[in-house]
Amino acid sequence: MKPTLLILAAGIGSRYGGLKQVDGMGPGGESILEFSVFDAIRAGFGKVVFVIRRDIEADFKEKVGSKVSPHIHTEYAYQEMSTGLEWLEELPTRKKPWGTGHAILSAKAYLTEPFVAINADDFYGAEAFRAIGDFLRNDCTPQRYAMVAYHLGNTLSENGTVSRGVCSVDTSGLLTDVVERTKIDRIEFQGGTPIVFTDENGEHHILPDNTPVSMNFWGFHPTVLQEIESQFRAFILENKDHPGAEFYIPKVVNTLIKSGKVGVKVLNSDSQWYGVTYTDDKNTVQEALRQMVAAGKYPDGLWK
């Protein structure tokens, strides 16, 4: 059975200042997520599911879907504030959906085989898709998932701080914990220029360059959806009066790991990650993709 690629593309992108899901980054005007779809096809994936919002549907299908759908089976799921909340008598007052865990749940109807869940605005690289594709075909079970981890030093932005899921991994290569760290940057500190994160008290803490971090590149068995749904219901009941609360994938995974229900294999990548957290990141990504095309890693025009 061929695995499915799930792309979470319903985000607002407030720091970027535009609809970065469909913004042209490649030499042929391709968006970052098109490179992910292309890499997934080469790695043997059989379907792509895009999670989007209704208000970007027409633009998204015109700029992305029309190019992708001739090459791979394509489906669309819609993440709205009310998605998955049919059981709730009164919807909470809120300005945006409930986060990445909620996004996966919104695509439940299309996730019938092992699948990868990724962000739309992150470039992960062909190597990562090959590794996780092999895992999903050969090793994925209801008790065994995977994630691709990147070296923290390969995931920074030159234009501001970033947030990353810092991973702890045991001697057998299994994930034991993911802790979200915010305000990560390389700064002058203690006589050098290390990577640090700033905690809620304003104190700096050094993180080694090779610290494994999650960039939301997860490989799941479809049975995870039952767990996500159960945890999401509990989350809503606890946070329905907190309009800024977010239901994140790492929280779901951490809960499953701590309960002993699953083991998560960490697939390490040495690749350079690229993304567009800030508007000024666009030039860096465009130049990187141009060089990859020039080196023959991608064709000049992905869908020609």
DSSP string spanning 3-18? -EEEEE-----TTTTS
Domain 4-294 fold = Spore Coat Polysaccharide Biosynthesis Protein SpsA; Chain A (3.90.550)
Cα-Cα-Cα-Cα torsion 232, 237, 243, 248, nearest 10 degrees, comes to: -20
pLDDT-derived band at 17 (thresholds 50, 70, 90) equals very low
Q: Phi and psi dihedrals of 269, rounded to 5?
A: -120, 135
pTM to 2 decimal places: 0.93
- CA 204 to each of CA 146, 208, 291: distance values in angstroms, whole numbers, following the listed order: 31, 13, 35
pLDDT > 90 fraction of the chain, expressed in percent and rounded: 76
- How many residues are there in the chain? 304
Among the residue ranges 25-29, 78-82, 155-159, 267-271, the one predicted with the least confidence is 78-82
Q: Is the pLDDT of residue 245 over 70?
A: yes
- Which has the higher per-residue pLDDT, 280 or 47? 47
pLDDT value for 19: 64
Q: Is the pLDDT of residue 276 over 90?
A: no
* Cα–Cα nearest to 253, from 173, 151, 167, 140: 167
pLDDT-derived band at 86 (thresholds 50, 70, 90) equals confident
Q: How far apart are CA 264 and CA 177, in angstroms?
A: 10
pLDDT value for 9: 93
Helix ranges restricted to H, 24-138: 32-42, 57-60, 66-68, 100-106, 126-138
pLDDT-derived band at 212 (thresholds 50, 70, 90) equals very high
Q: Is the pLDDT of residue 42 over 90?
A: yes
What pairs with residue 196 in β-bridges? 185, 206
pLDDT value for 135: 98
Average pLDDT over residues 221-245: 91
Among the residue ranges 13-27, 82-96, 168-182, the one predicted with the least confidence is 13-27
Mean pLDDT of the residues in the chain: 92
pLDDT-derived band at 191 (thresholds 50, 70, 90) equals confident
Average pLDDT over residues 34-54: 97
- CA 223 to each of CA 53, 112, 220, 226, 228: distance values in angstroms, whole numbers, following the listed order: 25, 9, 8, 6, 9
Q: Is the pLDDT of residue 200 over 60?
A: yes
Among the residue ranges 19-23, 96-100, 256-260, the one predicted with the least confidence is 19-23
pLDDT value for 83: 75
233: number of Cβ within 10 Å: 14
Average pLDDT over residues 231-251: 88
91: number of Cβ within 10 Å: 11
Nearby residues of 89 by Cβ (< 8 Å), 6 or more positions away: none
Choose from 39-43, 201-205, 243-247 the range with maximum mean pLDDT.
39-43
Average pLDDT over residues 142-164: 95
- Which has the higher per-residue pLDDT, 21 or 17? 21
pLDDT value for 233: 92
Helix (H) or strand (E) holding 158: none
Q: Is the pLDDT of residue 84 over 90?
A: no
* Cα–Cα nearest to 175, from 101, 250, 268, 265: 265
Q: How far apart are CA 293 and CA 84, in angstroms?
A: 41
pLDDT value for 82: 72
Which residue's structure tokens are 């391709």? 30
